[in-house]
Structure 1
Amino acid sequence: MPEKLKFKISSALKNVIGRDLITDDFVAIFELVKNSFDAFASKVIIQFDFQEESGSKIYIIDDGKGMNYNDIIEKWLFVAFSAKKEGTEDKISRTYAGNKGVGRFSCDRLGRTLKIQSKTKNDKTIHCLDINWEDFEKNSKEEFIEVDVTYTESKAFSLPVGLPVNESGVVLEIGNLRHADSWNRDKLIGLKRSLEKLLDPMSGIETQKDIEIKCGREKNNDVSEVMKAVKKDREPITVNGFIKNTIFQVLENKTTVMKAKITDEHKLQVELIDRGVFIYKTEEDISDIFPNLIDSGFYTEISYLNRSAKQTFALRMGVPSVQYGSIFLIMNGFRVFPIGEDGNDYWGLNRRKQQQYNSYVGSREILGFVKIQGGNDRFRESSSRNQGLIQTQAAVELTECFIKCIRKFEAYVADITWKDKLDKEEIDFNRMGLDSNRIKIIQLIEKLSKSKNITVLDYNHDLISILDEKSKEFEPSLKNLKNIADNINDEKLSKQIDLAEKALIKAKKAEQEAKKAADQEKKAREKAEKIVKEIEKEKEVIEEAYEEEKKRSLFLTGSNMRDKELLECFIHQIILYASNSKESLKNILQSPTRFNNVTGENLRNLLENLLETIEKIISTSRFATTANFRLNSSMITEDFNSFMYEYLEKIAVAYNTRIKIHTNLDKNEFKLHFNPIEMGMVFENFISNSKKARASNITFTSILKSGILTITIEDDGSGLDKNITGKDRIFEKGFTRTKGSGLGLYFCKTRIESLGGELKISGDQPRHGLSFTIRISK
């Protein structure tokens, strides 16, 4: 007959399910804090007492529901049993942060002794347990259940002075610390930072959890730290105080943020916000591809940290972002360790980045979190508590869904913001509003609207709109916008596109008329020259022509430019500019309705365009008589440093006698596609403004570094008017402090931005005068 046998349990089991699994002091404290909040605590206090006479201790006090005598016997002392896991812990259905049944052995990781004081609201006495963990280590042949644990009762909680006495809850007094000397200030601050990351950063007021660290030894050091922080205008990093996870709220308006969630309708809803500016919102059905994530409460926030955002983070947190961590996993309100830690690649981001460095984001560039809810049927945390999740099917789908969100994030960050090298140091959204970047955003929205699986719920109508008709991206953008309007049935946008297309047709017609007029002028000159050649056969005409040629040579002596064909190119350009304005005026004068509408803002725009045309004609004429390069079209691709030197040393000097122009330009080549006439006008505006400010000298300096050309323009004039509030207002259209048009600096800024560059008032200003900085990337 078969005999029934039973396991015997060695006292060494304590180590197997205790210290051998929980190998980190911080993780041990995490487990104890999570148990407190699982017990409905609203506040947890962690107090460190470092006293030689009584020994070092750690107190963990909560105001939760507490344990009665029966709970201690049937639950706490029942090794590896978890009432949470069995579903018998509470009468209501809920999820728990911890449910392995081994969290109680976290205390063994921290200290050799443990005293538990516990009370429920219905109890009149305090239930106390005294445990010496070393009793379990004396003889491994002794059975676990044979090791005594002392139980007593008390009428009141025994607490250090200053700690609150709660109506109910648990007090853990961990004594005879195993690594007492290791708990220095750096480790305590490290614990505080880790506890910040433990909490759900998006918890509401109803679910907010208060954790406070107290350590008398560090109070004076905290006071000194606060004083230092005030002097350096940064956040103090103290040991004592409440734990708050606010870094994501601090960064939200300073970074590119993607927020994604799975809705009750089983759809993945994605919202993208760039430095406080809403970009788009989409959704797609995921019920077939991620069935195990339905009703999981999936939510993620991903923030891209450019240089400016990293500086903000370091100032706020006192540690570089890469040392803080990357993408954390929050399950049932608490973080799953060590996912997101520096060096941890749970999500596989760094492996992806190694494949395509410039197309994928890595863990060092982003910060964020993933939130989920659920029990052990889907998401199971490793018993060792430092290995993340066990790879169930739900865990696999979780990673795949997160990577899907990352790809959407990269479509904006890698394909748009990274392409603008100057944007890396910007804390605001301004550069993304440039037409050169707006066209990329428009193309992204167009791509999303074309997808069969994705529905565009909303987008930024200020960004996804008609570009400036002077922009080179204007015409191609209309096709992109038309596709967006058709795909999402946006009638308002369709009407705007129709008007823009009509305006484009008129503009093209006017341009064709202008070219036609210029060509006719050219043919007339060629015909006249043919006649002159025939007449030149006669002696008298030849002599007369010779005298005329001498005069013409004198006129061009200073420029070393006697090539008639080159001169014709400049004349052709002048006629083209003039003909454009002529056609615009003809269109207005020929229609009484249009003429009557030329009032107010319309009249101002017309006059501004005419003024710009006149300045172009003047600038072109200067090139025609002085410039030493070919002007075959309005746009050229040349070395910009050489162009600056040619213009400033040969043209600007000739036409500006009341100011000395100095150049200190980089010798290295910087090829750029630009309009030389407009760039000449930009330089002339700076020189003109300096003369108005009574400057005697103006210096143009350029430095080429890492593919970025930085140009500094500095004068020794009267400087910026101190009465101006908001220095950047000087770039606004119509803003002036002189008798000027208020268009000069506005024109300069728009033309520099059309090259993908930026124009700003320099951070470092001269003692006398004013300095501007232009930055252009290849």
Structure 2
Amino acid sequence: MSNNKNKPSFKANIRLKDIIGQGLINNSNIAIIELIKNARDAKSKDVKVIFTNAGTKSPNSQIVIQDSGSGMDLDDIVDKWLNIAYSDKRNNSKGMFAGDKGIGRFSCDRLGTKLNLYSKKSNTKVVHLHVNWEDFEVDDRDKEISSVKLDPKYISQDDFFKKTNLSAFKKGTCLIIENLREAWTESELEQLKKELERFIIDPEKEFEVSFKSNDFEDKNGDLIFDGVIENKLLAKLDEKTISVHSQIIDNGKTIRTELHHYGDKILSFEEDNPYTKLKNIKAQVHYLSQGAKTSFKVITGYKSYEYGSIMFYLNGFRVMPYGEPKDDWLQLNQRKAQGTMRFLGTRDLFGIVEAYDYERNLAPVTSREGMENNLAFNQLTDKKLSRQDSAYLPGVLNILEKYVVDGIDWDRVKPKDDHFSVEEIKNAIQKVLESHKKNKKLRNIKINYKKISQIAEQKTEEYETFVTNLMASVSDKSIYELTPSEKQDVKKYVARHDATTKKQTETNREYKKDLTVEKKRRLFAESHLTSDTQRVRNLQHLIGILNGELCDDLEDVLRAESSKSPLSREDILELIKKSFFTSSKVRTLSQIITKANFDMMSETIRHNIYEYIEQYIKDIRKNGATWGIKVKFENPSSSDLPINLSPLEVSMLVDNIFSNASKAEAENLTVKASTSNKVFCLEFISDGNKLNDKFRPEDYFNAGITTTKSGAGIGLSHVKQIVNDLDGNVSIASNNNSGVTLKIWWDK
């Protein structure tokens, strides 16, 4: 084999077409997008996508994709288009392109079995190429892809019209894909339209995509699909959300950032760009409150979490899978798990990141599934850069989080009183600036103080309107007639009402100062009350506050009854429920004074709930506070479940379950912790009376329905409320022999 003629070399088998066509381009929507990207890269200002006879699979079905770009002549067809993996775009060192791998043309194979390509430069005739993709679909070890001969040739404009029935064109490319591989029903076309809206972004109106199907008409005889693809979502959302807008400008020298509140700019600043590989980047991220999520559904027809989260666009086209409903490319949900109320997750956010990369620093991978993990992409996304600052996008998101979580969202954080303080919003903005100043010099800082004052007033008015509308919608209904939405609104109101009075505000602030502890100590360490008198005072102080709430609620009832507008039965029931819950807190706090040496007053901690309950049971058993029941805890597989929990409320949860078991004449109760492939589970198994068959098991979690002879039917409704706050699920059922099993579980 010394002679070069006899040395082996690679051969391209005829089935290579399948790999880079139907194999690599893995769905038809992506195939059409790839061909649209080719049109844009050809400097076309528009592209038309037309479906005919495509509703069912048939030889007459076709898709036409026509642009007005630079076009090709015969030499271009032979030397470039038919040259697999060759890309004139990749060999062009200047300019930005949507793709440069040289395989997008095989999208035609993904869509149909036959292709008629017509292309024309401004100074040439039309060149025609016919490809029957089925000629390549044979199994032959020795047959190479180049063995199938093609015959591109020039034709006149008249011949073009006769073959296609399409108008003559000055320049550009027309792809006619025939004998489609799949049917395009109305639902498939609707999905494609929405995908095109998500995939194509053109804020400067430099590229227009027309979308048409001749197959489907409405009741008036008009085509259902016949118009220009537009993505107006961000413009519509800006007036309905809080958002952050950031861009890298001045040829990569400067980052300009703005914070918008429902369309109004309230903060802006500039800084030097420390990211050496990032230029011409725009990011716009919106916080989706519950109201904004409703608006999102109205605008798009999708629930926000079904549509996606923060999407990435390179040179005007979306890069998959970033921003898909189950994709978390910025690790938002991982952060949120570390602090549910402090961070925002993918379901809380929607946004678009645009990169116009003239220097080819950002590189999509060949499979169209993501970006190469190079320095430029790390500077855009990675939180673990070898520098003290975070990457660009995490820094942008931090601005939005600081303002939303610390400043204005009354749905999310419990307010300190019933009015939104201008100072609170100013402080939130100051936190934004302070967190962003680390290792950076900010300049041209502008704060819209007038608008901030208006925001505080608007938020108060919004809440008052919310309360008025809520009272109007539920005043004539019993608690069992409330819709899920109304129940959620009532829950918001009750949670907010707990912190409305100025007296409670001052007391809570004073208490929080006293409550600062240097280090949280182990749960249920042995009591040292003699050396911890300050903690006892704090607990007693909070008991006084809760008793004050009870007095206020009872005064409300007495005042209403003595007035001309007495409370309805439902209002009284709600106040009784609230008072009972407050009373339960007082009882638990009183027990804590003698039972625990732990900072039970912290609102939320992250802890293994299995371990917490086990130690709580040990403690109450030691102190004889088990309601006369023999209690044991089992965790045979040593399972654990770290979650965010309120120690006080988990203690109340256990107390309520034990109290119910005692009233049901139980003598023994086993608490069993376990973990399976699908769930984390806690079971409270007692041997007392069974459930009454006249109620469904789920009804026992409604207030007023009791499992015991002496119960008021409130304890289990509190159990469900606490489990909901822990993001869990709860059920109850009778055992085979005696007693009941109350099951709490968390889906994995």
So what's the TM-score if we normalise by structure 1? 0.56
How far, CA to CA, are the matches of 1:378 and 1:323 in structure 2?
31
Q: How many angstroms apart in 1 are the aligned matches of 2:24 and 2:264?
A: 46
Q: How does 1:442-481 map to 2 (within 5 A)?
A: 443-444=430-431, 447=434, 451=438, 453-455=440-442, 457-462=445-450
For the residues of structure 1 that align with 2:291 and 2:243, how far apart are their CA atoms? 15
* From 357, 366, 370, the counterpart of 1:383: 366
Is residue 340 of structure 1 aligned with residue 338 of structure 2?
no
Q: Report what 1:286 is aligned to.
A: 273
* Residue equivalent to 1:62: 67
CA distance in 2, matches of 1:455, 1:50: 59
Residues 228-627 of structure 1 aligned to structure 2 (within 5 Å): 238-264=224-250, 266-287=253-274, 290-293=275-278, 296-374=279-357, 377-385=360-368, 387-399=369-381, 400-418=391-409, 420-421=411-412, 434-435=421-422, 437-438=424-425, 440-441=427-428, 443-444=430-431, 447=434, 451=438, 453-455=440-442, 457-462=445-450
CA shift digits 1:221-253 (9 cap, x unpaired): 6969x9xxxxxxxxxxx5332100100001101
- SS at structure 1 position matched to 2:225: coil
Q: Deviations over 1:443-490 (max 9, x none)?
A: 42563597562425111222668999xxxxxxxxxxxxxxxxxxxxxx
Please give the secondary structure, in 1, of the residue aligned with 2:320: coil
Partners in 1 of 2:455 and 2:200 — Cα distance?
Answer: 45
Name the residue aligned to 1:12. Answer: 15
Q: Is the 8 A contact 1:310 1:321 kept in 2?
A: yes
- Change in Cα spacing, 1:446 to 1:66, as seen in structure 2 (3 Å) is closer
CA distance in 1, matches of 2:65, 2:355: 27
Selected match of 1:78 from 62, 79, 83: 83
SS at match of 1:85: coil
Per-residue CA deviations over 1:273-304 (Å, capped at 9, x if unaligned) read: 111232211233332xx2111xx211100011
Say which is worse superposed, 71-80 or 263-272, in terms of deviation: 263-272
Q: Does 1:128 align with 2:119?
A: no
Letter paired with 1:173: I
CA distance in 1, matches of 2:235, 2:406: 26
Q: Which residue of 1 aligns with 2:191?
A: 190
Q: Is the 8 A contact 1:640 1:669 kept in 2?
A: no
- Quote the Cα distance in structure 1 between the aligned partners of 2:45 and 2:91: 24
Q: 1:450 to 1:352 in 2, by over 3 A?
A: closer
> Which letter does structure 2 place at the counterpart of 1:255?
T
Secondary structure in 1 matching 2:393: helix
Change (3 A) 1:143 1:222: farther
Superposition CA RMSD, Å: 3.5
Amino acid paired to 1:339: Y
| The one of 218, 221, 226 aligned to 1:220 | 218
Instruction: Establish whether residue 87 from structure 1 lines up as the match of residue 70 from structure 2.
Output: no
- Cα gap change, 1:68 to 1:466, in 2 (>3 Å): closer
Contact 1:417–1:423 (Cα < 8 Å) also in 2: no
Aligned equivalents of 2:101 and 2:281: distance in 1? 23
Query: What is the Cα deviation at residue 641 of structure 1?
Result: 6.6
Q: In structure 1, what is the equivalent of residue 200 of structure 2? A: 199
Task: For residues 501-558 of structure 1, give each alpha carbon's deviation from its aligned partner in whole angstroms, at most 9, with x where no partner exists.
Answer: xxxxxxxxxxxxxxxxxxxxxxxxxxxxxxxxxxxxxxxxxxxxxxxxxxxxxxxxxx
Instruction: Tell me how far apart the structure 2 counterparts of residues 196 and 439 of structure 1 sit (CA, whole Å).
Output: 38
The residue matched to 1:41 in structure 2 has which SS?
Answer: coil
| Structure 2 Cα separation of the partners of residues 43 and 432 of structure 1 | 52
| Cα distance, 1:421–1:445 mapped onto 2, change above 3 Å | closer
Question: Considering only CA atoms, is the larger Rg found in Structure 1 or Structure 2?
Answer: 1
Per-residue deviation, 1:162: 8.4
Match of 1:668 among 577, 600, 608: 577
Shift in Å at residue 174 of structure 1? Answer: 0.8
Contact (CA 8 Å) 2:399, 2:432: kept in 1 or not? no
Letter in 1 for 2:304: S
Whole-Å separation in 2 of the counterparts to 1:298 and 1:212: 27
**8 Å CA contact retained: 1:306, 1:365:** yes
CA distance 1:39–1:20, shift in 2 (3 Å): same
2:29 to 20, 26, 29: 26
Deviation at 1:378, TM superposition (A): 1.6
Aligned letter for 1:61? Q
Quickly say closer, same or farther: Cα 1:445–1:316, change in 2 above 3 A. Answer: closer
Distance of aligned partners of 1:371 and 1:11 in 2 relative to their CA distance in 1, 3 Å threshold: same
Partners of 1:349 and 1:361 within 8 A in 2: yes
Aligned AA for 1:412? Answer: Y
In structure 2, distance between residues paired with 1:446 and 1:350: 24
Deviation by residue 1:557-598 (Cα, 9 ceiling, x = unmatched): xxxxxxxxxxxxxxxx9xxxxxxxxxxxxxxxxxxxxxxxxx
Shift of 1:140: 4.4
Would the alpha carbon gap of residues 662 and 359 (structure 1) be closer, same or farther in structure 2, given more than 3 Å must change? closer
Report deviation, 1:397: 1.3
CA contact (8 A) 1:432 1:438 kept: no
- Counterpart of 1:624 in structure 2 is none
1:389 shift after superposition? 0.6
The Cα shift of 1:321 comes to 1.5
Q: Deviations over 1:381-427 (max 9, x none)?
A: 11111x11111111111113212211222111223334554899xxx
Offset from partner CA, 1:157-181 (integer Å, 9 cap, x none): 348988554321111111111122x
Cα drift, residue 34 of structure 1? 0.6
CA distance in 2, matches of 1:374, 1:153: 36
Opposite residue 72 of structure 1, the aligned amino acid is I
| Residues 636, 378 of structure 1: alpha-carbon distance in 2 compared, 3 angstrom cutoff | same
Residues 161, 168 of structure 2: 8 Å contact kept: no
Matches within 5 A, 1:633-648: 640=549, 642-646=551-555
**How far, CA to CA, are the matches of 1:33 and 1:49 in structure 2?**
18
SS for the counterpart of 1:18 is helix
Question: Which residue number corresponds to residue 167 of structure 1?
Answer: 170
Q: Is contact 2:74–2:152 with CA below 8 Å preserved after alignment?
A: no
- State the 1:319 CA deviation: 1.5
| 3-state DSSP of counterpart to 1:262 | strand
Contact 1:218 1:240 in 2 (8 A): no
Change in Cα spacing, 1:54 to 1:200, as seen in structure 2 (3 Å) is: same
User: Cα gap change, 1:114/1:221 in structure 2, threshold over 3 Å: closer, same or farther?
Assistant: farther
Match for residue 611 of structure 2? none
Structure 1: distance between partners of 2:220 and 2:346: 32
Return 5+ residue gaps in structure 1 as ranges: 227-237, 425-430, 469-572, 574-631, 673-705, 707-777
Q: Matched residues in 1 for 2:134 and 2:455: separation?
A: 75
Cα drift, residue 374 of structure 1: 2.1
Task: Kindly provide the amino acid, as one letter, of the partner of residue 73 in structure 2.
Answer: N
Structure 1 residue matching 2:90: 3-state secondary structure: helix
Deviations 1:36-94 (A, max 9, x none): 11112111111111167752111111111211111111211111111110018xxxx31
Q: 1:493 aligns to what?
A: none
Matched to 1:21, the amino acid is L
Give the letter for the 2:228 counterpart.
F
Runs of 5+ unmatched residues, structure 2: 382-390, 457-502, 504-540, 583-648, 650-724, 726-748
- Quick check: 2:363–2:371 contact (8 Å CA) kept in 1? yes
